[in-house]
Amino acid sequence: MQLRNSAQRYGAIPKLLHWLTVALVVVAWALGTFGDDLPRGVGHSAGPLLHISTGLAIIALCVIRITWRLADPPPSPEKKLLRDGVELTGKVTHVALYGLLAATPIVGVLLQFAHGDALPVFGFSESLHPGSGIRVSQDRSKGCTRCSRTC
């Protein structure tokens, strides 16, 4: 089993990164779509944390995948009729997919901050809200930790 790409095929590491990304995108989508339907209790309260953690993992995987792609170029495309047009379309589509793959979780992070919420980082810590430098209460009924208003 070859780890790196060859001139003819992808290696094991790019394939693993690809399928990890697919799995994380499916999990993030499922949690984002059906998270409110989870049964009440630990599963329901852990859903948003898992959704956010999955999005952060997707961002990290994007960075790893792009770095790996620069260090280990993909195999050359097969020579076929209409190659130039198809190859250009493939490259544009690939760049667009990478852009969407990164943009979607980044927009989620920005929305989290726009709501005034701290960003839980894999459940180990929380980032502070960058706009105010203070942590805003997760329970909106208690109000903002700075001014006690309901934000």
| Cα-only R_g, the chain | 20
pTM of the model: 0.75
114, amino acid identity:
A
> What's the rounded mean pLDDT across residues 59-63?
94
**CA separation, residue 42 to residues 7, 50, 67, 118 (Å):** 49, 12, 37, 20
Over residues 14-58, the pLDDT tens digits come to 999 999 999 999 999 999 888 888 778 777 778 888 999 999 999
pLDDT (0 to 100) of residue 130: 64
* Nearby residues of 122 by Cβ (< 8 Å), 6 or more positions away: 53, 56, 57
Is residue 67 very low, low, confident or very high in pLDDT (cuts 50, 70, 90)?
A: very high
Q: Looking only at Cα atoms, what is the longest distance across the chain?
A: 67
Over residues 98-141, the pLDDT tens digits come to 999 999 999 998 888 888 888 888 877 777 666 655 444 444 44
H/E stretch holding 126: strand 125-127
pLDDT (0 to 100) of residue 136: 43
First-to-last C-alpha distance (Å) of the chain: 55
> What's the rounded mean pLDDT across residues 79-108?
86
